[in-house]
Structure 1
Amino acid sequence: MELIVNNHLQKNIVDENEVVTTSNRSFIEANTKDVTLEHLRKDCIIPVFAKDNESTISHYQFVQKTREIAQDLFPEFDIAEPNIRTSHLIKGRIPSAIGKPAKELKEHEKTLYYERCAFVMEIPAVVENINGNNLALTIGGVRAYNQENLFSKKSPEKFKVFIGFKNMVCTNLCISTDGLADQIKVTNTDQLSYAVEGLLQQYDREHHLGLMERMSRHYLTEKQFAHFIGKLRMFQFMDKSEQKKLFPVALNDGQINNVVKNYYTCPNFKRSDDGSINLWRLYNLFTEANKSSYIDNNFERSVNAYELTNNLANSLQNKSENWFIHN
């Protein structure tokens, strides 16, 4: 596959002495556990397809293979250690420990793996400043065994991969539509590598940055924001046939509550003194609220927040009708 040369990358390289360090805050705050790549490699068993005992692609292989592809495509930069979050621990034990009370199990008698795994890894030397915030180029992925039929014979396995940016102010992920591949289905790591490489190459970074920069130029008044929030709440309870006629909304009611709360209280993205809020701040209120999403749908909701914000920006820019706001 031919590599695409980015002729503008050099201007975005941060001086070695000014590289932004990785934030200690997590990119996801749902009920997840922080683990290391070495833990996935050494301590976790690998589930198999029950009917033919064929191995699945492990979480470790997924993360490591993505990291290798990223390093190959960005050879002049260091790829940061992956930030890995897992959930839904599946416990087991070795055959010799059958019948033992759980409290008497020794460490070597226990087995474990995680049903769901998400990770991100930054390229800390490639940083863009958008609307006063530093954004680090970031690559990541999701794997969820609950989406596989492990009781059957080996079949294509599902993965999600993204390339986008992480806002260093708040660790919010900024993922565009063309920066997410949420329907990767492969049977081996070679196919997985090919799919990851294809996504990283086709991603239009300049277009993504341009649309995020545009967000700061459009505002909702306090009245428009209140109307918008009311419409979001109405959308949740509309008939499915009515929803299909409107722009989709992926955030749930609790997350919309967080958007309203942070409209007043967020130190980085709250409203202006007159109650207005620009769309860049609103977008970050969306992505902040999305941190409570589970691993399964976190990236899709992030993309939906990006698309919804751009839908509002298009309407404000073109003065066109939009069900969610009054122009």
Structure 2
Amino acid sequence: METTRELSVVPQQGMMTKMGIINPTFIEDAVIVSEKKQEKEHPNFIESNTSGITLEELETNCIVPSFGDNQLTISHQTFIHRIEEAASIFFAGETFGNTEIRVSHKILGRHPSALTKRKEELKPEDETIYYQRMAFCFHIRTICREMNGEEVHLCIGGVRSLNEENLYGKKSPEKFKIFIGWRVRVCSNLMLTCDGLTGRLEVMGDTDIYIAALKLFREFNPEQNLRLLENLGRTMISQEQFCQIIGRLRLYQVLPALQMKELPKVILGDSNINAATKGYIDNPNFGLRGRAKISCWDLMQLLNEAAKQSYIDKFLERNQNATDFAVGIQKALRGEDTENYGWFLG
């Protein structure tokens, strides 16, 4: 599992433009959402080193960084609001669930007036805080289906990683990722495919985010996507085949670059593969559970569950890669694509 890293910075004047009033009493404690208070309906959609935060806490307890020329970045909360607005317009009449927000890589800084103070002289009101990385999602309660015996909802969300921005330079296009896809209720696993992801979206303003979200929603076909994923439940994987797949995934990571290029791209790391292997034995929803075989649907869920242990900025791509891998394995087992994914079956 990747470890938590907290950074402490003393920013330039331009990097600490403030939005709202920081309440120092809640700087350290309020960002963690109480499990009891939140009364979660399902597990988190991403784990790793993330913690929960509310939209109100983002707006009141966190500053909004700016570029070196004092122009504000697009705040995390503005990003969330634009996606929510686009969804409410495109899916008018539908009922939405609560927006779940996960953050990581806390950045501690100081107000410009406290730059010359020694650390032991700092008062709570001298300190600032924001989160470098943020992921959020919300599901559409009224777009609900059953897929391979599991309840799934259409889910929308996005990812923002400020580590991809050069905050010391002049304002430049900012980078975001938006997604739409089905999520399994029992485990909150996302099942993302390439048609449900924007990739890295570069924008100069939040209006561009709104427009890009509408375009993504228009081009995504929920029912076609559902049929593709549901079909995975019809192809079985024996224990011997699963072991072969896991062994090849490990071997893949140490192949010469030239040979690796000839195979389908796999970006899952050792920790992801280890987690999927463990899940094969003890996952209560998609593991063996006394069976002799699992399905390609189960394989996808084990890999997607493992991808939830990734850093926020790598999560969406790994989730999509896990879904694509399960679809590719199914094609190889059916004899439809033995040249590519067939290698993973030995």
For normalisation by structure 1, the TM-score amounts to: 0.89
Classify 1:123/1:293 alpha carbon distance in 2 versus 1 (closer, same or farther; 3 Å).
Answer: same
Out of 225, 228, 253, the residue aligned to residue 208 of structure 1 is 225
- Per-residue deviation, 1:153: 1.1
SS of alignment partner, residue 128 of structure 1: strand
Classify 1:106/1:123 alpha carbon distance in 2 versus 1 (closer, same or farther; 3 Å).
Answer: farther
More deviation, 155-164/76-85:
76-85
Out of 67, 70, 76, the residue aligned to residue 49 of structure 1 is 67
Asked if 1:264 is matched to 2:267, the reply is: no
What is the rounded CA distance, in whole Å, between the counterparts of 2:95 and 2:224 in structure 1? 24
Asked if 1:80 is matched to 2:97, the reply is: yes
Out of 150, 156, 160, the residue aligned to residue 167 of structure 2 is 150
Partner of 2:29: none
User: Structure 1: where are the runs of 5+ without partners?
Assistant: 1-20
Partner of 1:173: 190
- Per-residue deviation, 1:81: 2.2
Contact 2:42 2:187 in 1 (8 A): no
> Partner amino acid for 1:207?
Q
SS of alignment partner, residue 299 of structure 2: helix
Partner of 1:5: none
Contact 2:134 2:160 in 1 (8 A): yes
What is the rounded CA distance, in whole Å, between the counterparts of 1:259 and 1:267 in structure 2? 13
Contact 1:67 1:79 in 2 (8 A): no
Asked if 1:33 is matched to 2:39, the reply is: no
Deviations 1:92-141 (A, max 9, x none): 22244445565664443321111111101111221111000011111010
- Per-residue deviation, 1:320: 4.6
> Partner amino acid for 2:318?
R
> Partner amino acid for 2:307?
N
Contact 2:287 2:294 in 1 (8 A): yes
Asked if 1:191 is matched to 2:194, the reply is: no
SS of alignment partner, residue 285 of structure 1: helix
For normalisation by structure 2, the TM-score amounts to: 0.84
Partner of 2:329: 312
SS of alignment partner, residue 320 of structure 2: helix
- Per-residue deviation, 1:142: 0.4
SS of alignment partner, residue 198 of structure 2: strand
Deviations 1:120-169 (A, max 9, x none): 11112211110000111110100001101112111111100000121111
Asked if 1:120 is matched to 2:137, the reply is: yes
Out of 158, 174, 181, the residue aligned to residue 164 of structure 1 is 181
SS of alignment partner, residue 144 of structure 2: strand
> Partner amino acid for 1:257?
N
Asked if 1:323 is matched to 2:340, the reply is: no
SS of alignment partner, residue 182 of structure 1: coil
Contact 2:111 2:127 in 1 (8 A): yes
What is the rounded CA distance, in whole Å, between the counterparts of 1:315 and 1:84 in structure 2? 37
Classify 1:319/1:197 alpha carbon distance in 2 versus 1 (closer, same or farther; 3 Å).
Answer: closer
Identity over aligned residues, as a percent? 39
- Per-residue deviation, 1:78: 2.6
> Partner amino acid for 1:71?
S
Asked if 1:64 is matched to 2:81, the reply is: yes
Contact 1:23 1:171 in 2 (8 A): no
SS of alignment partner, residue 150 of structure 1: coil
What is the rounded CA distance, in whole Å, between the counterparts of 2:49 and 2:232 in structure 1? 31
Partner of 2:111: 94
Q: Following superposition, which runs of at least 4 residues in structure 1 exceed 6 angstroms of deviation?
A: none
Out of 182, 186, 194, the residue aligned to residue 199 of structure 2 is 182
What is the rounded CA distance, in whole Å, between the counterparts of 1:155 and 1:148 in structure 2? 8
User: Structure 2: where are the runs of 5+ without partners?
Assistant: 1-38
Classify 1:22/1:215 alpha carbon distance in 2 versus 1 (closer, same or farther; 3 Å).
Answer: farther
RMSD (CA atoms): 1.7
Partner of 1:226: 243
> Partner amino acid for 2:344?
F
- Per-residue deviation, 1:183: 1.8
Classify 1:22/1:34 alpha carbon distance in 2 versus 1 (closer, same or farther; 3 Å).
Answer: closer
> Partner amino acid for 1:223?
E
Alignment of 1:283-294 (within 5 A): 283-294=300-311
Partner of 2:257: 240
What is the rounded CA distance, in whole Å, between the counterparts of 1:53 and 1:294 in structure 2? 29
What is the rounded CA distance, in whole Å, between the counterparts of 2:86 and 2:125 in structure 1? 34
- Per-residue deviation, 1:274: 4.9
Classify 1:136/1:185 alpha carbon distance in 2 versus 1 (closer, same or farther; 3 Å).
Answer: same
Partner of 1:111: 128
Deviations 1:298-321 (A, max 9, x none): 000010011111111112223552
Deviations 1:177-196 (A, max 9, x none): 10011221100011111111
More deviation, 79-88/312-321:
312-321
More deviation, 294-303/145-154:
145-154
More deviation, 128-137/92-101:
92-101
